[in-house]
A and B are shown apart, each in its own frame.
Chain A
């Protein structure tokens, strides 16, 4: 590919990606840390902790991803504007 590489986005800032990355990492690590939730109590509506904890993480993970999405898309918009020269930084 010898056509010159024209960046599609401006340079990244570290902070937004670091924060989003931590949120995403939490959503991966917490549902996989079995020792903290492999127990029966406290029960919820008769359901052992093991089960409702994991179902709860469906919502928490989705929420964490939503926050990460807002952070990442905002930075993404800034970086594209920096290259395309539309709008302000």
Chain B
């Protein structure tokens, strides 16, 4: 979620400060380490949690990659909460509020409000058809619905490519915590990154053994910690700093000052009319994109009944409320005069919330809050790596290289790939500039939205032609990438300077992903009409209308086929 934010935050983060050296905060560090060890133990025990003795070792993707497809409402609430509201979000949303105000930060609230009505409508149908056919990934569904492994490949590759930088950004979240704890001083690069490497090796190990059960269990710990931290912060900090009125006045004063790099204000507390369309298209486009991400769909398909996800659509908004208050902590930090200074002495907006906790609370409680953020990075990183490796295994490895892969072989490949994915993310963060991870994640949001027509239209109709959808997808990705590249950061003159651009033919700025999506959808419709006019046949649909309504009591397709064998080859 929300990479758009940091491009803007980075623009405001150029001014160097005097001294980046931080002493290690031992009390907070010990609390973080203790909680981290606790979580690691839980992660390793998860392999045995709700596991039938015959399924020990998790030898199928249903067991390893979807936690046995048996999560009820409560587990799903924790799992999806931990999955969607990531550590990077916790760090980046308040950072964007602190640096540039509402348009780049607070849109996360309407985004995560309108998300759930969309989930309510779409996801129970996806659950039903996946339950009947044993689909593990969104690309499985697209492949089955349109009978096209190429369209399936397009969805799978988009999912993997969009997820990789997202995993990398979870590391950025952990790194923000380590920085304010006083670790990661830049004297010795290897020592500075060692805690990060250890955290990820442990994460990789228990994801390998426990599959999706590991993040599901850890998410419970993470969510309890994060709720405690936010509730205490919201109950105490605003009053401590003189009430919301003073906090908003301070934010108004800081944000309306002129940015010397652009000659315009840094931002606004309340967006002006010019920002309205950017605001709602960012919210809507992000909401449409979020449940196209493979890690979100993994969470949906791991539930045990058709209605589990609908019940969750009613209770998950509690996280959105928490996110809203967390965003406002960015303004609280303005009032508090928080100085988020990185190890190199520069201002790094991402440190603003960790620093605020450290400045305002006793060390042990700061440790709890910082641990919540760090553990909050582990849960989505685990789920994302599982989802990406499932996509690789099912829709690239099986479909293109080994058609006769057994379920056990699939699970083994997936486990191995999940390790590779995590190493890749680690190399990404350690090797490349952090801002390139942010750029790729920004692009990832635009790209993943281009799979929306194939997946969502497929839930309702078989009308679309697979080739028209493929061309629309390609056009959307191409347009989105080029347009995003052309957005230049006014302060640093770097490309990929943000995710809003003028709608073609107008001066109205909107989220690029939404424009690309419209282009994609129009091409898919026109292409299908043209192909139909030439009577191109496109019939390879494995699904039937009844599949989309099936619930957990209906037989799966494999069972139907066993009792009623195919009449024709």
Residue A14, interface by CB 8 Å: no
Residue A18, interface by CB 8 Å: no
Q: Which of A8, A35, A46 contacts B245 (CB 8 A)?
A: A46
Residue B114, interface by CB 8 Å: yes
Q: What is the bound-complex CA distance between A59 and B270, given in angstroms?
A: 22
Given known contacts A3-B561, A24-B121, A80-B551, A39 and B566 CB-to-CB distance under 8 angstroms = no
Contact A28 B114 (CB under 8 A): yes
Contact B116 A54 (CB under 8 A): no
Type the 1/0 row for B86-121, where 1 means its CB is closer than 8 Å to any CB of A.
000000000000000010001001100110111011
Interface residues of B toward A: which range?
Answer: 35 or more
Interface of A is mostly: helix
Q: What is the bound-complex CA distance between A45 and B247, given in angstroms?
A: 11
Residue of A nearest to B277 (CB): A34
Q: What is the bound-complex CA distance between A79 and B542, given in angstroms?
A: 24
Given known contacts A24-B120, A27-B113, A54-B109, A73 and B307 CB-to-CB distance under 8 angstroms = yes
Q: What is the bound-complex CA distance between A9 and B544, given in angstroms?
A: 13
Contact B117 A24 (CB under 8 A): yes
Q: What is the bound-complex CA distance between A46 and B120, given in angstroms?
A: 34
- CB-CB < 8 A to B307: which residues of A? 69, 73
Residue A6, interface by CB 8 Å: yes
Most chain A CB inside 10 Å of its own CB: which residue of B116, B246, B307: B116
Contact B324 A54 (CB under 8 A): yes
- CB-CB < 8 A to A35: which residues of B? 273, 276
Type the 1/0 row for B122-138, where 1 means its CB is closer than 8 Å to any CB of A.
00000000000000000
Residue of B nearest to A45 (CB): B244
Contact A61 B310 (CB under 8 A): no
A10 to chain B, nearest CB (A): 10
- CB-CB < 8 A to B271: which residues of A? 34, 38, 50
Interface of B is mostly: helix
Residue A19, interface by CB 8 Å: no
Q: What is the bound-complex CA distance between A69 and B117, given in angstroms?
A: 11
Q: What is the bound-complex CA distance between A2 and B317, given in angstroms?
A: 42
Contacting A at CB under 8 A, from B439-495, are none
Given known contacts A6-B546, A34-B280, A65-B117, A55 and B321 CB-to-CB distance under 8 angstroms = yes
Most chain B CB inside 10 Å of its own CB: which residue of A5, A28, A39: A28
Q: What is the bound-complex CA distance between A88 and B364, given in angstroms?
A: 60
Residue B528, interface by CB 8 Å: no
B53 to chain A, nearest CB (A): 32
Q: What is the bound-complex CA distance between A72 and B318, given in angstroms?
A: 22
Residue A87, interface by CB 8 Å: no
Residue B228, interface by CB 8 Å: no
Contact B110 A32 (CB under 8 A): yes
Contact A62 B564 (CB under 8 A): no
- CB-CB < 8 A to A79: which residues of B? 549
Given known contacts A2-B566, A62-B116, A48 and B321 CB-to-CB distance under 8 angstroms = no
- CB-CB < 8 A to A9: which residues of B? 546, 549
Contact A31 B113 (CB under 8 A): yes
A31 to chain B, nearest CB (A): 4
Known: A39-B270, A69-B313. 10 other contacts (CB 8 A): A1-B542, A7-B545, A24-B117, A45-B244, A46-B244, A46-B245, A48-B248, A48-B269, A61-B116, A62-B116
Measured CB to CB, the residues of B under 8 A from A are 102, 106, 109-110, 113-114, 116-118, 120-121, 243-248, 269-273, 276, 279-280, 283-284, 307, 310-311, 313-315, 317-318, 320-321, 324-325, 328, 541-547, 549-551, 554, 557, 560-561, 564-568
Give the 3 A-B residue pairs with the shortest CB-CB distance, closest first.
A46-B245, A46-B244, A34-B276
